[in-house]
C-alpha cells in the first residue's frame, strides 16, 4: 500500500489492510494507554461514542424495552387506536386442568389482549383483566418486569415460554411495530449504529376489530413510517429479514410463502432467517434443504442468515446450515465443538453473529470465560457483535462492546473489525453497502483523531444512555435509565 493511496483514500486503505489481515495503523499505542488507565465509566462513554456499524441479529419484537411497550400500549394516537388489557389475577374461571403449555397459557399473569380479544372472553375471564393504563404502581412495575430477563432465577424457559406469550396481541399491531422500528433507530443512532437489519414478518397482524391485515398492507405501513422525517433524521438505514419459525408443522410451506414474499419486496426485505429453539429437533436444519433447492430453481438468490449452534450439546447444525445456503450463522456457540466446520469458516465469507449477553442470560454459557467468541475472532473466523433481543435483556449495542472489552481485552484493530464486518456481511444492496462502509471509515477516522488529540474531552457532550444489564452485571449504574441492581 503506497503512502499516496493511503493519504488519498484513508478508509479504502484501512479496509484493504484489514482484509489482508494486517494492522491498519502503525501504532495503536494510544488505545492501549487509554485501556490501561480508563475506569469502567470512561470505557463505557468511549464505547458509546465509538462509531459502530450494523446490528445484523436483532429480533424487532424482542428489541423493545418494557417502557416502550408501556408507552405504545397506552397511547392510542401512536398505536393505531387499539385498546389493550392485561391479566392481573387468576380466578379459575374454567375450572382446573386448562392447557398451560400451548400458545395461550391460562396460568400466566400479564398476558396482553387487544380489545377484540378481550370482548370475546367470558365475564369471569374479563374480571381477570385490567386496561394497561389502569394498572396501579405495583402492577405497572410487575408488568414492566414481566418482559425483562433481569433476575437470577429467570432464563431460557422464562424467555421462550412466557415473554412472547405475554406480549401476545401487542406484537400483532403493525403500527406498534412500525413505531418500535423508529424508536430502535433513534436509540441505535445515539450510540453510533448506522445500519439495522432486523427480523420481522408481515403475517398474523390483527386489526382493532380482530380482522386480519393483508401482508402487503403491513409492509406498506412499515415503509411509510420509515419514510417519515423523524425516521430519516436518525441516519440509520433499515432492512428486514423475514423470519421463519422453524419447528412448526407446516414450516416448509411457510418457507415457500416467505420466499415469494421477500422476492416481491426486495426494497425492504433483504433476507430470510430461521428462528426458534434449536433444542426442538423438529426444526433441524436439513429439514429445509429440498424446499430451498426447489425455490432456488426458479427465484433469484435470497440471502439466508440462520440461527445455528445456539444449543448446549455438540452437533453439526452449523455445517448443515451452511449446506442450506446460509452465509451468516446466528450465535454459533457450539461451532467450537465442530473442528471441520471451524476450519471451513476460517478466512471465509461466512460470518458468525455473536450475541454475548443473550448467550449468558439464556444459559448457553455459564460465564463469559466459556464463550467461544475470542477463539473465533482470533482464528480469523469473521464475527460481528449483535443484540438479539436486547429489550428483554435490558441492554444495548454498547453493552455488547463493553462486555467484549472487559472480558476479552480487544485491540483497536479487533474492536473496529467487528463493526466493519457487520457492514461487509450485511444483506443490503451493493451501492448502499459501499456508502455505509465509506461513512463508517470516515466517522471512525474523525473519532480517532479527536480522541487522540483531546482524550475524553474529544467525546464532546456524549452522555451514554444505558439500561439495566451493565448496572446489574458490572455494577456500572452511572448511565442507567433504570437502576434495578436486581442481582
Residues that bind Zn ion (CB under 5 A): 388
Task: Find the shortest distance in angstroms from Cβ 207 to Zn ion.
Answer: 28
Nearer to Zn ion, 188 or 447 (CB): 188
30 Cβ partners below 8 Å, 6+ apart? 451, 452
CB of 152 to Zn ion, least distance (A): 22
CB 208, CB 115: distance < 8 Å: yes
Nearer to Zn ion, 262 or 392 (CB): 392
| Strand-pair category, 54-59 with 84-87 | unpaired
199 vs 437, which CB is nearer to Zn ion? Answer: 199
Dist CA 259 CA 297 (whole Å):
12
Cβ distance to Zn ion smaller for residue 388 or 394: 388
Does residue 405 contact residue 43 with C-beta atoms inside 8 Å?
A: yes
- Cα(26)–Cα(484) distance, integer angstroms: 43
Rounded-to-integer distance, Cα 482 and Cα 147, Å: 15
Q: Which is nearer to Zn ion, 361 or 476 (CB)?
A: 361
Q: Provide the grid cell at 423.
A: 457492514
**What's the min distance (Å) between Cβ of 57 and Zn ion?**
6
Nearest distance from C-beta of residue 310 to Zn ion, angstroms: 7
Compute the least distance from the CB of residue 460 to Zn ion, in Å.
34
Distances 134 to 9, 113, 117, 155, 172 between C-alpha atoms, Å: 58, 14, 18, 29, 22
In sequence order, what are the beta bridge partners of 68?
none
Least gap, CB of 307 to Zn ion (angstroms):
6
Q: How far is the C-alpha of 112 from the C-alpha of 132, rounded, in Å?
A: 9
User: Cα–Cα distance between 146 and 159 in angstroms, integer?
Assistant: 10
Q: How far is the CB of 159 from Zn ion (least distance, A)?
A: 11
* CB nearer to Zn ion: pick between 28 and 400: 400
Tell which residue, 442, 465, 405, has the closest CA to residue 36.
Answer: 405
Q: How far apart are CA 97 and CA 92, in angstroms?
A: 10
Minimum distance of Zn ion from residue 296's CB (angstroms)? 24
Is residue 372 within 8 A of residue 336, CB to CB? The reply is yes
Quote the crossing angle between the two packed helices 215-226 and 174-190, to the nearest 10°. 30
Q: In the complex with Zn ion, which residue's Cβ is closer, 118 or 350?
A: 350
Q: Among residues 308 and 377, whose Cβ is nearest to Zn ion?
A: 308
Between residues 332 and 468, which has the closer beta carbon with respect to Zn ion? 332
Write out the three cell numbers for 79: 398505536
**Do residues 103 and 195 make contact, with C-beta atoms less than 8 angstroms apart?**
no
| Coil vs helix vs strand at 305 | strand
Question: Of 338 and 388, which CB lies nearer to Zn ion in the complex structure?
Answer: 388
Cα 351–chain centre separation: 16
Nearer to Zn ion, 310 or 441 (CB): 310
Residue nearest to Zn ion (CB): 388
Burial class of 247 by CB neighbour count within 10 A (0 to 12, 13 to 18, 19+): middle
Residue whose entry in the numeric block shows the C-alpha cell 439495522: 196
CB-based contact 159:149 (threshold 8 Å): yes
Compute the least distance from the CB of residue 240 to Zn ion, in Å: 14
We find the least distance from the C-beta atom of residue 59 to Zn ion, in angstroms, to be 6
Torsion of CA 170, 284, 282, 219, to 10 degrees: 30
Query: If DSSP codes are grouped into helix, strand and coil, which group holds residue 375?
Result: helix
The least distance separating Zn ion from the CB of residue 354, rounded to whole angstroms, comes to 11
Amino acid at each position: 500500500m503506497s503512502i499516496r493511496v493511503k493519504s488519498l483514500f484513508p478508509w479504502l486503505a484501512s479496509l484493504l489492510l484489514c482484509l489482508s489481515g494486517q494492522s491498519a495503523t502503525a501504532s495503536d499505542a494510544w488505545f492501549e494507554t487509554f485501556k490501561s488507565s480508563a475506569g469502567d465509566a470512561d470505557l463505557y462513554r468511549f464505547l458509546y461514542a465509538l462509531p459502530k456499524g450494523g446490528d445484523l441479529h436483532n429480533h424487532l419484537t424482542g428489541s423493545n424495552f418494557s417502557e416502550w411497550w408501556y408507552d405504545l400500549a397506552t397511547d392510542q394516537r401512536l398505536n393505531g387506536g387499539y385498546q389493550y388489557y392485561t391479566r392481573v389475577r387468576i380466578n379459575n374461571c374454567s375450572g382446573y386442568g386448562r392447557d398451560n403449555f400451548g400458545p395461550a397459557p391460562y396460568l400466566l399473569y400479564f398476558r396482553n389482549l387487544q380489545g377484540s380479544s378481550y370482548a370475546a372472553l367470558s365475564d369471569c375471564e374479563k374480571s381477570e383483566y385490567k386496561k394497561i393504563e389502569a394498572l396501579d404502581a405495583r402492577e405497572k412495575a410487575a408488568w414492566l418486569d414481566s418482559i425483562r430477563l433481569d433476575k437470577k432465577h429467570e432464563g431460557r424457559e422464562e424467555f421462550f415460554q412466557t415473554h412472547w406469550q405475554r406480549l401476545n396481541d401487542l406484537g400483532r399491531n403493525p403500527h406498534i411495530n412500525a413505531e418500535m422500528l423508529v424508536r430502535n433507530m433513534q436509540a441505535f443512532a445515539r450510540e453510533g449504529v448506522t445500519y439495522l437489519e432486523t427480523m420481522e414478518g408481515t403475517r398474523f397482524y390483527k386489526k382493532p376489530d380482530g380482522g386480519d391485515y393483508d401482508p402487503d398492507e403491513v409492509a406498506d405501513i412499515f415503509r411509510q413510517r420509515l419514510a417519515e422525517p423523524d425516521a430519516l433524521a436518525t441516519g440509520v438505514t433499515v432492512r428486514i429479514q423475514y423470519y421463519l419459525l422453524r419447528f412448526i408443522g407446516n414450516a416448509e410451506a411457510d418457507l415457500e410463502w416467505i420466499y415469494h414474499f421477500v422476492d416481491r419486496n426486495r426494497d425492504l426485505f433483504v433476507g430470510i432467517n430461521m428462528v426458534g429453539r434449536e433444542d426442538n429437533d423438529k426444526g433441524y436444519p436439513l429439514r429445509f434443504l429440498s424446499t430451498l433447492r426447489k425455490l432456488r430453481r426458479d427465484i433469484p438468490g435470497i440471502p439466508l442468515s440462520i440461527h445455528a449452534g445456539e444449543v448446549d450439546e455438540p452437533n453439526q447444525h452449523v455445517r448443515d446450515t451452511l449446506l442450506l445456503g446460509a452465509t451468516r450463522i446466528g450465535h454459533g456457540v457450539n461451532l467450537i465443538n465442530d473442528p471441520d466446520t471451524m476450519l471451513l469458516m476460517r478466512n471465509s465469507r461466512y460470518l458468525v453473529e455473536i450475541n454475548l449477553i443473550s448467550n449468558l442470560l439464556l444459559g448457553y454459557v455459564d460465564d463469559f470465560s466459556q464463550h467461544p467468541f475470542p477463539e473465533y475472532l482470533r482464528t480469523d473466523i469473521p464475527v460481528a457483535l449483535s443484540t438479539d433481543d436486547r429489550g428483554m435483556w435490558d441492554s444495548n449495542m454498547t453493552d455488547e462492546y463493553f462486555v467484549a472489552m472487559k472480558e476479552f481485552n480487544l485491540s483497536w484493530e479487533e474492536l473496529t473489525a467487528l463493526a466493519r464486518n457487520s457492514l461487509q456481511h450485511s444483506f443490503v444492496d451493493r451501492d448502499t453497502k459501499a456508502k455505509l462502509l465509506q461513512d463508517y471509515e470516515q466517522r471512525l477516522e474523525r473519532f480517532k483523531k479527536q480522541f487522540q488529540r483531546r482524550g475524553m474531552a474529544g467525546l464532546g457532550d456524549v452522555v451514554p444512555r444505558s439500561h439495566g444489564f451493565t448496572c446489574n452485571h458490572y455494577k456500572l449504574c452511572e448511565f442507567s435509565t433504570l437502576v434495578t441492581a436486581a442481582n
